[in-house]
Amino acid sequence: MSFQPNSPAARDVAYVLHPYTNARAHEENGPMIITKGDGVYVYDDGGKQYLEAMAGLWCASLGFNENRLVKAATKQLETLPYYHTFAHKAHLPGIDLAEKLINLAPVPMSKVFFAGSGSEANDTAMKLVWYYNNARGRHAKKKMISRIKGYHGVTIASASLTGTPVNHPGFDLPIAGVKHTSNPHYYRFGQSGESEVDFATRMAQDLETMILEEGPETVAAFIAEPIMGAGGVIVPPETYFEKIQAVLKKYDVLMIADEVICGFGRTGEFWGSQTVGIKPDILTCAKALSSSYLPISAVMISEDVYQPIADQSQDLGVLGHGYTYTAHPVCAAVALETLKIYEEDNILDHVRAVSPLFQERLHALSEHELVGETRGRGLMGALEIVADKGTRASYDPKVGAGAKAGAAATEHGLIVRAIGDSIAFTPPLIITESQINELFDKMTKALDDAAGAIH
């Protein structure tokens, strides 16, 4: 395709290397340029409206024009636009936000460390785990276990934890000492005649086998999203985390809950950990912490994790970790205002009120000829396209069934996320019932179009 000289599209192709994009296809097709947002909708540069059924990247929980967040940012920019928290320095937004998060935590937590992104939060969690075990004299206990198709970010460490197909090839990842255990997707990996509960038992056995093979004295922590997001919205099978955590306890392995997507009401509880029964030693969060209006993430650690870290920082002189933007005051002020809005607008009650319709409309799509499985909790869901509902066989990847359905949705003014042949939905938490109906009406049409294009 040729682009108008000097147009935004031409300049984008000329200058921007896009994340998660096929660079050659981008040179050919150019970008989709989004120019403004309003509630659950965004608009492209041609003025076309889209219902943003992914809240951007599972993140803009309050939609795309929450003015209170603009005001909170402006106020903080006018007061103290930047300061840091190194070397005993502090500022009020950082203090207030840490206190608030500790009060909201799903289990008693002791301290909060701030970073700029989910990747940095998980990177930090991994470093703190190493520091903690060195502090305890367990110098061999450093290995991390995550799961196939888990998503934890893209820095060298967090991309290693990530277990999705595109994040390791070409990058010489994962780094040594990061292992990936079984994916708990019952529909795909449950064996014939195996109940969901038995499948969960087998998943926990797989984890135990891995820990024993590696040597429990070398395994430090297990990280998991309460409900896997970018791996395709995989809801854990019944009893899964209960059994996983029993194994972790047995071998003194820390549990890290990656709440980057699930935190702040997405699953119908404030934390995904509460929805699926995780009692984390470390919790990471980001995205909806600030409704993603500004970048900020947090790592919460328990008192048991904190104490050896504090001792070690004294022995070594300082905790040698921190980002220029750790607890950035403007980001922290926006996060605080976001949490205030969640409380004042009873966002959790709203999610609980509208999610039955969301789940009902989602599950109704399983009647569609293309859909093999629908799955979800709260305002988080996915459907999986299959070639044969009986055998659950997938289409040949060359068919691009998921991509076709995603493209058809875009045509209908709906932005979804195709993950292989799964289509994910995580709309802003402020979505109304009529907008949920609009979302699934549009998705139904998109599936019809995709079926026509495939067959």
Binding residues (CB under 6 A) for ligand PLP: these are: 57, 117-119, 122, 151-153, 225, 229-230, 258, 260-261, 286
Answer whether 206's CB lies under 8 Å from 192's CB: no
Task: From residue 15, give the alpha-carbon distance in Å to each of 5, 11, 26, 35, 343.
Answer: 13, 6, 12, 18, 42
Please state the closest distance from residue 229 (CB atom) to ligand PLP, in A. 5
Tokens, residue 160: 């290693």
| Shortest Cβ 119–ligand PLP spacing (Å) | 3
Shortest separation between residue 86's beta carbon and ligand PLP, angstroms: 22
> Residue 259 or 373: which CB sits closer to ligand PLP?
259
- Comparing CA positions, the residue from 55, 50, 68 lying closest to residue 428 is 55
Find out whether 300 and 283 touch, Cβ atoms under 8 Å.
yes
**Strand 414-415 relative to strand 49-52: parallel, antiparallel, unpaired?**
parallel
Per DSSP, helices labelled H in 145-277 are 156-161, 186-189, 196-214, 240-250, 272-276
> What spatial distance separates the first Cα and last Cα of the chain, rounded to whole Å?
28
Q: How far apart are CA 133 and CA 312, in angstroms?
A: 10
Distance from CA of residue 31 to its chain's centroid? 24
Q: Which is nearer to ligand PLP, 225 or 373 (CB)?
A: 225
Using the minimum distance from each CB to ligand PLP, give the nearer residue, 190 or 265: 265
Residue nearest to ligand PLP (CB): 118
255: nearest Cα among 107, 447, 72: 107
Q: How near is the Cβ of 287 to ligand PLP at its closest, in Å?
A: 7
Rounded to a whole number of angstroms, the minimum distance from the CB of residue 250 to ligand PLP is 26
φ/ψ of 382, rounded to 5, equals -155, 155
Residue number with CB closer to ligand PLP (153 or 372): 153
d(CA 186, CA 194): 9
* Residue 207 or 299 with smaller CB distance to ligand PLP: 299
Which CB atom, from 158 or from 245, has the smaller least distance to ligand PLP?
A: 158
CB of 346 to ligand PLP, least distance (A): 25
Residue at token pair 């255990």: 181
Closest CB to ligand PLP among 13 and 233?
A: 233
Strands 297-301 and 371-377: unpaired
Rounded to a whole number of angstroms, the minimum distance from the CB of residue 113 to ligand PLP is 15
State in angstroms the smallest separation of the CB of 87 from ligand PLP: 26
Cβ pair 70, 330 in contact under 8 A: no
- The smaller minimum CB distance to ligand PLP, of residues 153 and 190, is found at 153
Separation CA 196–CA 186 (nearest Å): 7
Radius of gyration over every alpha carbon of the chain, rounded to an integer in angstroms = 22
Nearer to ligand PLP, 165 or 356 (CB): 165
Task: Considering the complex, state which of residue 372 and residue 402 has its C-beta at the smaller distance from ligand PLP.
Answer: 402
Phi, psi of 415 (to 5 degrees): -100, 120
CA nearest neighbour of 356 among 416, 437, 241? 437
Question: What is the closest distance, in whole angstroms, from the C-beta atom of residue 225 to ligand PLP in the complex?
Answer: 5
Q: Is 373 helix (H, G, I), strand (E, B) or coil?
A: strand
Least distance from ligand PLP to the Cβ atom of residue 141, Å: 23
Phi, psi of 435 (to 5 degrees): -70, -30
